[in-house]
């Protein structure tokens, strides 16, 4: 019997670009030193989802003839995780979980496995990085012990499929995709070919057996999921578990979700016995805030459908360099530079010879434009050395002409501020009217940044 022919190619480990020769710079993604040699068998058959479809002899159907079935989701005990997933785990879905090393991916999935197994769901936890005894040590630390949670240390996809057929779980977890391999693919585990083929195989297992599969993915130093970009296109949902290593708070964010919104976030806190969900993150993020402080403001941000109050701090000081520094943590650096230019041109603050340092307290990152007004007031407060009222909350987008523009869902933001004891909200005047103002909070409408500064810094 003739052996399958093989050839050597060079493949980019970031985007999957193939080349017959080695190159220092990938023409596909412009990354340096990512081309790695891999052996490819020409005659090796590739099994995927199409093979399973051929075996069951499915035929194209008119969409009007397809019966719509609402299959119930599998809810977890974590409301934060349910919110990010869109209401719970969808059977037959393939979910990719990424995050920095040590951030808590394996801890979260082990705790979720324990909760689901307690309610009668059969869960298979497969680790290619830890032995069964090591998983048991981690489970003992988290007080995880239940009969329907099965652990397995294996990296060969064929043995993993055999274990799945034997146990027949409703939830399966692969930790991590970079450690498993298929024997038909000659390249090393973690390579583009292996990651692509193994993910395709797990996708077929999830769809044909109607089980939910969680895949843990390593991230690169830039923060993206390691492996080909195709990996994120193949799965049903991509969740990023992020947070500062020196903070206890962790944020679970969906960047892709076929069964729910990608605007929701879940907030967790890492404690001695594992992760605990934070049901009221606004209260947690503001608990260490000092009153009557220069350069400090509070903004009501919106993450999906959840309003969240966070503190924005600014420090403006004369520069000792030719080019002043502009540093920002938790907020877009370019947006800060834009707002400082608006303050200099429209308000008359001489900031071109000042260093600027901005921080969103608590390690959370905010990307929406409704925080513009709070950032501008924080910068002006620090520059003028004037305090802001600790019971003020600021909401609004700032334009290049210095105008304060309307924002969405102003009623939810103001209600959250009133619930936490804030007594005044400075908002765009275009947002006034059409909603009920909660008791105990005063609404101030402004049309320009200059007008907002008069209220916020003038008492």
Q: Locate tokens 């501020």: which residue? A: 417
Residues 6+ apart with CB under 8 A from 126: 151, 152, 153, 154, 160, 163, 172, 173, 174, 175
User: Per-residue pLDDT for the chain (459 aa), expressed as one digit of tens each?
Assistant: 445 556 778 888 777 788 888 999 988 888 888 888 777 655 555 444 444 444 456 788 888 888 877 778 999 999 999 999 999 999 999 999 998 888 899 999 999 999 999 999 999 999 999 999 999 999 999 988 899 999 999 999 999 999 999 999 999 999 989 999 998 887 788 888 888 899 999 999 999 999 999 999 887 666 666 666 678 888 999 999 987 766 788 889 898 999 888 888 898 999 888 999 988 888 888 877 877 789 999 999 988 778 999 999 999 999 988 889 999 999 999 999 999 999 999 999 999 999 999 999 877 888 899 999 999 999 999 999 999 999 999 999 999 999 999 999 999 999 999 999 999 999 999 999 899 999 999 999 999 999 999 999 976
Task: Specify binding-site residues for ATP.
Answer: 99-106
User: Domain segments of the chain: what residues?
Assistant: 6-41, 74-278, 284-457
Task: Specify binding-site residues.
Answer: 99-106
Distance between CA atoms of 445 and 428, rounded to whole angstroms? 5
CATH number listed for the domain at residues 284-457 = 3.30.230.10
74-278 and 284-457 have identical folds: no
- Indicate if the alpha-carbon torsion angle 285, 286, 290, 295 is positive or negative: positive
CATH number listed for the domain at residues 74-278 = 3.40.50.300
Report which of 269, 132, 218 is spatially closest to residue 140, judged by C-alpha positions: 132
Helix (H, G, I), strand (E, B), or coil: what is residue 373? helix
**Residue 114 buriedness (CB in 10 A; 0-12 / 13-18 / 19+):** buried
Q: Checking DSSP bridges between strand 94-99 and strand 237-242, what pairing results, if any? A: parallel
Q: pTM for the complete prediction?
A: 0.76
């Amino acid at each position: 019997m003739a052996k399958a022919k093989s050839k050597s190619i060079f493949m980019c480990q970031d985007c999957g670009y193939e080349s017959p020769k080695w190159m220092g710079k990938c023409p596909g993604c412009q990354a340096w030193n990512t081309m790695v040699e891999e052996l490819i068998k020409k005659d090796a058959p590739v099994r995927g989802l199409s093979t399973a479809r051929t075996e069951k002899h499915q035929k194209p159907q008119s969409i009007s003839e397809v019966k719509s079935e609402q299959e119930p989701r599998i809810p977890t005990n974590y409301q934060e995780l349910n919110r990010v997933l869109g209401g719970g785990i969808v059977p037959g879905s393939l979910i990719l979980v990424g995050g920095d090393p040590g951030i808590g991916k394996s801890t979260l999935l082990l705790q979720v496995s324990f909760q689901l197994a307690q309610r009668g769901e059969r869960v298979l936890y497969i680790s290619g990085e830890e032995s069964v005894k090591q998983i048991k040590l981690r489970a003992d630390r988290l007080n995880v012990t239940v009969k329907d949670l099965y652990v397995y240390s294996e990296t060969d996809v064929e043995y993993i499929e055999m274990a799945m057929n034997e146990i027949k779980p409703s939830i399966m977890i692969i930790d991590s995709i970079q450690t498993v391999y298929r024997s038909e693919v000659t390249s090393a585990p973690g390579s583009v070919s292996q990651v692509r083929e193994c993910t395709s195989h797990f996708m077929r297992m999830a769809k044909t057996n109607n089980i939910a599969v969680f895949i843990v993915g390593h991230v690169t130093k830039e923060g993206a999921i390691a492996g080909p970009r195709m990996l994120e296109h193949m799965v049903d949902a991509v969740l990023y578990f992020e947070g500062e290593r020196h903070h206890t708070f962790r944020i679970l964010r969906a960047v892709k979700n076929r069964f729910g919104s990608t605007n929701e976030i879940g907030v967790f806190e890492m404690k001695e016995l594992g992760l605990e969900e934070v049901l009221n993150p606004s209260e947690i993020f503001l608990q260490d805030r000092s009153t009557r402080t220069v350069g400090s403001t509070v903004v009501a941000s919106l993450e999906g459908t959840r309003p969240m109050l966070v503190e924005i701090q600014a420090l403006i000081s004369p520069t000792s360099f030719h080019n002043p520094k502009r540093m920002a943590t938790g907020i877009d650096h370019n947006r800060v530079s834009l707002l400082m230019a608006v303050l200099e041109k429209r308000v008359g603050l001489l900031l071109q010879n000042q260093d600027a340092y901005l921080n969103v307290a608590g390690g959370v990152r905010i990307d929406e434009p409704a925080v513009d007004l709070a950032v501008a007031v924080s910068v002006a407060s620090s520059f003028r050395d004037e305090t802001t009222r600790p019971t003020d909350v600021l909401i609004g987008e700032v334009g290049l002409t210095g105008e304060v523009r309307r924002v969405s869902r102003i009623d939810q933001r103001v209600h959250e501020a009133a619930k936490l004891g804030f007594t005044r909200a400075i908002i765009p005047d275009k947002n006034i009217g059409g909603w009920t103002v909660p008791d105990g909070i005063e609404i101030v409408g402004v049309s320009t940044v200059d007008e907002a500064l008069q209220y916020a810094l003038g008492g």
